[in-house]
Amino acid sequence: MADSEAIVRLARSDDEAAILALINRVQPHAPWTQAHYDWQFKHGPAGAPILRVIDCEGLIAGFLAVSRRHVWVDGKIYDGFLMQDGMTDPTFRGRGFFNMLATALRDGLVGTDLVGLMFPNKHSENSFRRTGWTELMKVPLRVAHAQGLTKDLSLLQPVPAFNSDVLAIWKDAGFSVGVLRSPEYLNWRYGIPGATYYRFMIDGDAGFAVLKVYDRGGSRVVNLCDFVVRKGERGRIAEFLDEVHAFAQQHGAAEVQALVDARNPYAAAFEAKGFALDLSQDRFIFTDGPADVLPRLSSASAWHISQADNDVY
């Protein structure tokens, strides 16, 4: 049962320092700078985020942020969002505060045309299940062990930033539902202050890819954050993935990870190149949206999901 003195309200601009301090108390292992906060909550190309806080007698005891996205559903573009940062101050946990935030998020969604997507963790997923979100699929994590492939990259062609070609590729990729890959979105998404992403066009304008190198303890992992090809180029995916393996070799990575659901048309090519589904992975992706498109949104085979859609990568 939540405390009667605690209320959920939209964040005000004068809450910013308290929110940033809360984020850094809750996740000291992954601290945010002011530049990161500004990038995340002020510069997104799809519009201003919706930030809610738990105000407990003047103290910011909890926080839930949704960041705007444009979502492509059968050729129509919907305003949407990704739920991404939710937390309760350690001294206020177990009092129902996060459930209050989740309920307010849901109440704010009902009756709107907004489309939502989220990758909650195990601690928070029940709050979203209870408030009526639809389970879309298990997070389709695939892991490929390094294949030791040594070759120069010729099909993956580095670019400093994306241009309108990526949107043309997305529209020609044959996916029914997904976060719209516009140049504005991708250039912002991969502009996290202090993070390095490797952006590639694939063989001219056959597709595009974004890779990130991540040090995990003593080993190195390559994350395939984005990988989209024109529908007519799907037969070449294995060839393109060889270059992803070669990139991993060049960067001394032991593993390459990607999110590719078994129902995604890319799945067979990923399987063939050693990307096996991690069956121990037990987290879920949830979605929600207006009643007329919810059947499409709830169809796992309609979606294209990649690591780009989860803010942790």
Ligand X SMILES: CC(C)(COP(=O)(O)OP(=O)(O)OC[C@H]1O[C@@H](n2cnc3c(N)ncnc32)[C@H](O)[C@@H]1OP(=O)(O)O)[C@@H](O)C(=O)NCCC(=O)NCCS
> Measured from the CB of residue 200, what is the shortest distance to ligand X in angstroms?
31
b/e string for 11-43 if b means 16 or more Cβ within 10 A?
A: beeebbebbbebbeebeeeeebeeebbebbbee
Tokens of 93: 């946990």
> Measured from the CB of residue 40, what is the shortest distance to ligand X in angstroms?
15
Considering only 20, 60, 71, 87, the residue that binds ligand X (CB under 6 A) is: 87
- The Cα 52–Cα 116 span in angstroms is 16
Residue 49 lies near ligand X (rule: CB under 6 A): no
Contacting range for ligand X; rule: CB under 6 A; set: 7-15, 123-131, 133-141, 249-257: 123-131
Whether the CB-CB separation of 187 and 215 falls below 8 Å is answered with no
Whether the CB-CB separation of 143 and 255 falls below 8 Å is answered with yes
User: What is residue 161's DSSP assignment?
Assistant: S
- The Cα 241–Cα 52 span in angstroms is 41
Contacting range for ligand X; rule: CB under 6 A; set: 39-47, 125-133, 198-206, 293-301: 125-133
Nearer to ligand X, 94 or 204 (CB): 94
Residue 52 lies near ligand X (rule: CB under 6 A): no
Q: Which residue has the tokens 């002011």?
A: 34
Considering only 34, 112, 121, 301, the residue that binds ligand X (CB under 6 A) is: 121
Nearer to ligand X, 87 or 269 (CB): 87
Considering only 28, 58, 75, 94, the residue that binds ligand X (CB under 6 A) is: 94
- The site for ligand X, by CB under 6 A, has a size of 19
Considering only 33, 34, 112, 126, the residue that binds ligand X (CB under 6 A) is: 126
Considering only 52, 95, 181, 245, the residue that binds ligand X (CB under 6 A) is: 95
> Measured from the CB of residue 21, what is the shortest distance to ligand X in angstroms?
14
**On the CB side of 132, how many CA atoms lie within 13 Å of its CA?**
13
What is 193-223 written as a DSSP string? TT---EEEEETTTTEEEEEEEEEETTEEEEE
Which of 95, 6, 16 is CA-nearest to residue 59? Answer: 6
Considering only 86, 140, 178, 207, the residue that binds ligand X (CB under 6 A) is: 86
Greatest distance between any 2 Cα atoms in the chain: 63
Considering only 67, 124, 298, 307, the residue that binds ligand X (CB under 6 A) is: 124
Considering only 19, 22, 26, 46, the residue that binds ligand X (CB under 6 A) is: 26
Residue 97 lies near ligand X (rule: CB under 6 A): yes
CB atoms within 10 A of CB 70: 19
Nearer to ligand X, 6 or 202 (CB): 6
> Measured from the CB of residue 104, what is the shortest distance to ligand X in angstroms?
12
Nearer to ligand X, 83 or 144 (CB): 83
- The Cα 256–Cα 253 span in angstroms is 7
Considering only 40, 67, 88, 298, the residue that binds ligand X (CB under 6 A) is: 88
CA distance from start to end of the chain: 34
Cα 231 to Cα 168, 205, 225, distances in angstroms: 11, 12, 19
Whether the CB-CB separation of 39 and 193 falls below 8 Å is answered with yes
Binding site for ligand X (CB under 6 A): 26, 62, 86-88, 93-99, 120-121, 123-124, 126-127, 130
